[in-house]
Amino acid sequence: MSATQQVLIIESGRSERHYWRDLWGFRELLFFLAWRDILVRYKQTTIGIVWALGRPLITMLVFTLVFSKLAKLPSEGVPYPILVFAALLPWQFFSSGFSGAGDSLISNAGVISKVYFSRLVIPASAVIVSFVDFLISGLILVGLMAWYGFAPNLRIFTLPLFIFVAFAAAMGAGLWIAALNVKYRDFRIIVPIVVQLGLYISPVGFSSAIVPEQWRLLYSLNPMVGVIDGFRWAILGGNAQLYWPGFLLSLILVMVMLFTGIAYFRKTEKTFTDII
């Protein structure tokens, strides 16, 4: 045995000194779990991963029909399907990532109670699964833009920043729900309701420009408002305006959610197996 071998101390309430290094050590598992979930979802389907295109496409068509053709809402001078889709992308990423992460600990309870690894890997892999779906449905957006002959301007290069914010939002909310779900299964019922309502109170089917000016800041308390407006600002180019105070408010809320989510998760993760 080498003298350099490190000693692992297990004690009550001992905070992990190497928490992030530990997590880094399990990065491969992170991708294996995501890979498993994607693989399993499309096993024994005939068209496989093409299904990832189905849901956003249909939602986009319905929203375009309802909000543009029936409700006749303004489109900020871009084709309405593109307006909708630029918002649908981050929304679906957020909603599936957040609810997937929220459910992830319970659906992996068997593994959690039998093997040790950084617990953070599980919700994170759920968000990565949604991210893969996000990238695939991104192809639809590219297709739509080609169809309408719509070229983005230089702002498109800021898109990764907004993707990161969406990622942080899904992760932050997901960690909270995942940890709470272990103890209070009520959240399994609450989350689908939040997701369903969120689709309508977030500016997905319409532009947030239709919200009266004096309410915009209040409206931005929904952190997805900032994310969605950011996506539109980056993708739609000169036609879209970004309401900066609102965006900053959303950004701050997302970061608060992320950091408190991580803190709460770390505080509770050691008791997961005792109560799951």
Partner 1 sequence: MASVILVENLSKKYLIGHQRQELYTNLHDVIAQGVSRSLKKLAHPFSKAKDDPAHEEFWALKDVSFDIQQGDRVGIIGRNGAGKSTLLKILSRITEPTSGKVSIRGRVASLLEVGTGFHPELTGRENIYLNGAILGMSKADIKKKFDKIIAFAEVERFLDTPVKRYSSGMYVRLAFAVAAHLEPDIMIIDEVLAVGDAQFQKKCLGKMEEVGADGRTVLFVSHSLPMVSSLCTKAILLDAGQVVKAGAASDVVSFYTKGDSGAEINFQSRKIGDEYAQLLSVSILDPSGVAVTQIIINQEVRVAVTFEVLQDSERELLPRLDFMMDGGRYAFVSFAAAKMQRYKPGKYKAICRVPANFLNQVTYFIGFGLVSYEPTKILHFHEHSACSFDVIDPLIDVPTRTRGMPMNDFPGAVRPVLDWDVEKLG
- Residue ranges binding partner 1 (CB under 8 A): 1, 5-14, 28-29, 32-33, 36, 39-40, 43-44, 110-117, 270-271, 273-274
Contacts for 70 with CB less than 8 Å, ≥ 6 apart = none
Nearer to partner 1, 155 or 270 (CB): 270
Contact 229, 203 (CB under 8 A): yes
Label residue 167 exposed, middle or buried (CB < 10 Å: 0-12, 13-18, 19+): buried
Of the pair 111, 218, the CB lying nearest partner 1 is at: 111
Write down the least CB distance from residue 138 to partner 1, Å. 26
| Rounded Cα distance, 97 and 131, in Å | 8
Shortest Å distance, C-beta 272 to partner 1: 8
If the CB atoms of residues 110 and 149 are measured against partner 1, the closer one turns out to be 110
Task: For residue 262, give the nearest of 183, 194, 174, 163 by alpha carbon.
Answer: 174
Q: How far apart are CA 243 and CA 216, in angstroms?
A: 8
Structure-token pair, residue 172: 């932050």
Q: How far is the CB of 14 from partner 1 (least distance, A)?
A: 8
Residue 63 near residue 118, CB atoms below 8 Å: no
For partner 1, which is the closer residue by CB, 84 or 179? 179
Q: How far is CA 218 from CA 169, 195, 243, in A?
A: 18, 20, 12
Q: Which is nearer to partner 1, 28 or 213 (CB)?
A: 28
Beta carbon of residue 26, minimum distance to partner 1 (angstroms, whole number): 8
User: How far apart are CB 187 and partner 1 at their closest, in Å?
Assistant: 16
Q: Provide, rounded to whole angstroms, the least separation between the CB of residue 153 and partner 1.
A: 41
For the range 109-118, what are the long-range contacts, defined as Cβ-Cβ under 8 Å and sequence gap of 24 or more?
109/276, 112/272, 112/273, 112/276, 113/273, 113/276, 117/26, 117/29, 118/19, 118/22, 118/23, 118/25, 118/26
Q: Closer CB to partner 1, residue 189 or residue 275?
A: 275
